[in-house]
Structure 1
C-alpha cells in the first residue's frame, strides 16, 4: 500500500513538472542556446549608477589627514566616537567610519565640519 501511494505521488509530481514546462512562453520552448540567446548583462539604472559612483568616488586617506574642523565637529557631536577610517572625494567631502560604543557607522562632512546627510 505504501508503494502504491509513493508511486502515485511520484507520478503526480512529474506531471506537475511537465505541466509547468508546457506553460512556459512559446519563445522559450524551441530556442537553441547560442551566444545571442545568452542573457544580457544587467545595466545599472541612472539611480543605481549614482549610488555606485557615490560609493566609489571616495579615496581613503589617513585619519591624521582629516581637517581639524571635521575632527572638532566629530568630537563635539560624538564625544566618545573613535575614528577608524576616513576618505575624501573631489568635492572635499569627507566620509568617516566611526565607532561609538559597540555601534559602527558612516558619517559625512564637508571640509568646514558641516554634516552632510547621505
Structure 2
C-alpha cells in the first residue's frame, strides 16, 4: 500500500513539473488598401494607341466609358455582345492587370 501511495505521489508530482502557464498573444494585422482614383473622360480624349489596342484584342469590343488616373493609366468599360467588362491599359495601350 505504501508503494502504491508513493507511486501515485511521484506520478502526480511529475505532472506538476510539466505544467506551464502560457500567455495568449494577440496579433493585429492591418491591411491597407489604396484605391486608385479614376476620373471619367470623354471617349475622344482616349489616345489612339489605347483604342487600337482594344480593337486589336477584340474587334467587336465597344468602349462605353473611359477613365484616367494621375499615372496616365486608363480604365475602360467595354461591351462585347451582351457581356460587359473592365479593362486597364497604360498610355501606350499595353493591357495591365488590376
Regarding TM over 0.5, the answer is yes
Write the distance in 2 (CA, Å) between the matches of 1:63 and 1:105: 16
Matched, 1:88 2:68: yes
CA RMSD of aligned residues (A): 1.2
Q: Which has the higher helix share?
A: 1
2:46 corresponds to which of 56, 59, 66: 66
Cα deviation, residue 69, structure 1: 0.3
Consecutive unaligned residues in structure 2, runs of 5 or more: 1-29
Report the count of equivalent residues: 69
Write the distance in 1 (CA, Å) between the matches of 2:52 and 2:65: 16
TM-score normalised according to structure 1 size: 0.56
Q: Which has the higher contact order (CA 8 A, sep 6+)?
A: 2
Structure 1 stretches (4+) deviating beyond 3 angstroms? none
Consecutive unaligned residues in structure 1, runs of 5 or more: 1-43
Larger Cα-atom Rg = 2
TM-score normalised according to structure 2 size: 0.67
